[in-house]
Amino acid sequence: MWKVTVDREKCQGCGECVESCPGEVYALRDGKAEPVNPEECHGCHTCEAVCEQDACHIEEDD
Ligand code: SF4
Ligand code: SF4
């Protein structure tokens, strides 16, 4: 299992994580990314790589 978090202070709502996540983990709400399907995360780290704001993070949660 992976824990998915977004720092709302840092997130600029660019949508890159929403577009690039293969698990459709994120959605934009009120101009910020939210992990709406965190159970679909499989730890590929793509969202962290594409986020220029260093706003979204995943960590192993077992
Ligand atoms: S890629 Fe980063 S800044 Fe862009 S919406 Fe996702 S968390 Fe926010
Ligand atoms: S690590 Fe991969 S599967 Fe998990 S939220 Fe980020 S892009 Fe999606």
| Total domains in the fold of the chain | 1
pLDDT tens column, 25-42: 999 999 999 999 999 999
Model confidence at 62, pLDDT cuts 50, 70, 90, reads: confident
Give the CATH number, domain containing residue 10: 3.30.70.20
* CA of 20, nearest ligand number: 2
Amino acid symbol at 12: Q
Print the domain residue range for 8.
Answer: 2-60
**Ligand 2 center to 47 CA (angstroms):** 5
Query: What pLDDT is recorded for position 61?
Result: 86
- As given in the structure block, the two tokens for residue 6 are 């977004």
**CA-based max dimension of the chain:** 30
Query: What pLDDT is recorded for position 17?
Result: 98
Query: What pLDDT is recorded for position 19?
Result: 98
DSSP assignment of the chain equals -EEEEE-TTT-----HHHHH-TT--EEEETTEEEES-GGG-----HHHHH-TT--EEEEE--
- As given in the structure block, the two tokens for residue 16 are 């890159």
Average pLDDT along the chain: 97
In this prediction, residues 49-53 reach a mean pLDDT of 98
